[in-house]
Structure 1
Amino acid sequence: MTGLESLRSDDINHPEMGDGEKVVRAAIKGTFTAGLELGVGSIGASAGGLVGVSLGGPIGGVIGFVGGGLTGGFIGNEAGKRVGDSLNKYVVHPFVKWWNS
């Protein structure tokens, strides 16, 4: 969804961009957002589950697992968007400018 949002945003806000650049920007942002969301969410779920089990037994483990997963997923989502935006700004856009010159 983040990649699609990026593509739509570029269509509206950057009509001067070529379709290729818009697609690459969307793919990079979507890939990093999904990857970091999954990775950090998994780490958060594992850490939350361990803390929950140590504090509240099996029920605490389940609650910690869910809470940690949601928290980690949110953090990973935001981090992925920022990494994707930075790559697009500092790598993709300068490369496209160089390529088209």
Structure 2
Amino acid sequence: MNHHVSDYDGFREEILNAMQERWKQAQGDPAKAMEVLVDAIKGEGKAEGMATPSWLLIGKPTFTQATLLNERLSENVSQWEGVSRDLDYDRVDSHRP
């Protein structure tokens, strides 16, 4: 943040302003977020009996964006499976001359 290319100043300011506007509209309660975080780490409260997640999605916007990403990733995996998985070495038959 302290070392930047001045050619991008306008773009950076635009993005920072947009993010600040979004945060003004945030409805999440930080105290509730901390409660969930502590519960998840300790396996207590709302997280009792649940495994500690690799990714803890806190808040509606985070959950929504993660859900959308998951859908796009799933579509990508389905569409590209044949191309992506077919990269093994061709099998060589040792009995052939």
Q: Which of the five TM-score ranges fits, normalised by the shorter chain?
A: 0.3 to 0.5
Which TM-score applies when normalising by structure 1? 0.31
Larger CA Rg, structure 1 vs 2: 2
Which TM-score applies when normalising by structure 2? 0.32
Higher RCO (Cα < 8 Å, 6 or more apart): 1
More helix by share: 1
